[in-house]
Structure 1
Amino acid sequence: MAMVVTQPCIGCKDKACLPVCPVECFHEDDAMVYIDPDECIDCGACVPECPTEAIFYEDNVPDQWKSFIELNAAKSAESPSAHD
C-alpha cells in the first residue's frame, strides 16, 4: 500500500509535504504532485503536512477520487522528481 495524492492538490503550490518524505517519492507536473507507489514506504509523514488534506493511504482514498490511485502511478512514471 502507498500514499496517494488526490484532487484537492490540483493547483496547490505550497508543497509542504515534499521535505518530510524520507525517500523523496514525490513527482510533479504543472497541475500537482504525485507519489510514486513503487518508491513510497507508506510512512504517512506527508499526511499531516499536506495543506489541502489531499493525501490518503491507498485503502482510504475516498470513492470519488479512486482514479487518482492509477493517476499517481502513471504520472510518477512520466514526471520528473519533485526534488530535482
Structure 2
Amino acid sequence: MTYIITEPCIATKDASCVDVCPVDCIYEGEDQFYIHPEECIDCGACVPECPVEAIFPDDEVPEQYDAFTEKNYTHFDVPFPG
C-alpha cells in the first residue's frame, strides 16, 4: 500500500507532509506533491499534517479523486496496479 495525494493539494501545495516523512518519499511536482509508491513505508505520518486533507491510503481514495491514484503512479513511471 502507498498513500496518494489528491486534487486539494493542487490549490494549496503545502509542504507540511514533506517535512514529516521519515523516508523522504514525497516529491514536488509541477502542480502538486506526489508520494513515490515504491519508497513509501505506509507510516501515515503525512496524513494529519496535510492542511487540506488531500492524502489518502491508495485503497481509500474517494471516488471523485480516483484519477489521482493513476496520476501518482504515472508521475514516477511505476506500473499502475489498477
Once residues 6 and 59 of structure 2 are traced to their aligned partners in structure 1, the CA distance between those partners, rounded to angstroms, is: 13
Structure 2 length normalisation: TM-score?
A: 0.86
Once residues 8 and 14 of structure 1 are traced to their aligned partners in structure 2, the CA distance between those partners, rounded to angstroms, is: 10
SS at match of 1:48: helix
- In structure 1, the residue matched to 2:9 is 9
Question: CA shift at 1:14, angstroms?
Answer: 2.1
Question: CA shift at 1:76, angstroms?
Answer: 3.1
- In structure 1, the residue matched to 2:80 is none
Q: Structure 2: any 5+ residue segments left out of the alignment?
A: 78-82
Once residues 27 and 7 of structure 2 are traced to their aligned partners in structure 1, the CA distance between those partners, rounded to angstroms, is: 15
- In structure 2, the residue matched to 1:44 is 44
SS at match of 1:66: helix
Q: Which amino acid aligns with 2:56?
A: F
Once residues 42 and 53 of structure 2 are traced to their aligned partners in structure 1, the CA distance between those partners, rounded to angstroms, is: 16
Q: Give the ranges of 4+ consecutive aligned residues of structure 1 lying more than 6 Å apart after TM superposition.
A: none
Tell me if the contact between 2:5 and 2:54 (Cα under 8 Å) persists in the aligned partners.
yes
Once residues 26 and 14 of structure 2 are traced to their aligned partners in structure 1, the CA distance between those partners, rounded to angstroms, is: 14
Q: Which amino acid aligns with 1:3?
A: Y
The answer to whether the aligner puts 1:62 opposite 2:62 as a matched pair is yes
- In structure 2, the residue matched to 1:80 is none
Using the aligned pairs only, state the percent identity: 53
Tell me if the contact between 2:3 and 2:56 (Cα under 8 Å) persists in the aligned partners.
yes
Tell me if the contact between 2:13 and 2:33 (Cα under 8 Å) persists in the aligned partners.
no
Tell me if the contact between 1:3 and 1:56 (Cα under 8 Å) persists in the aligned partners.
yes
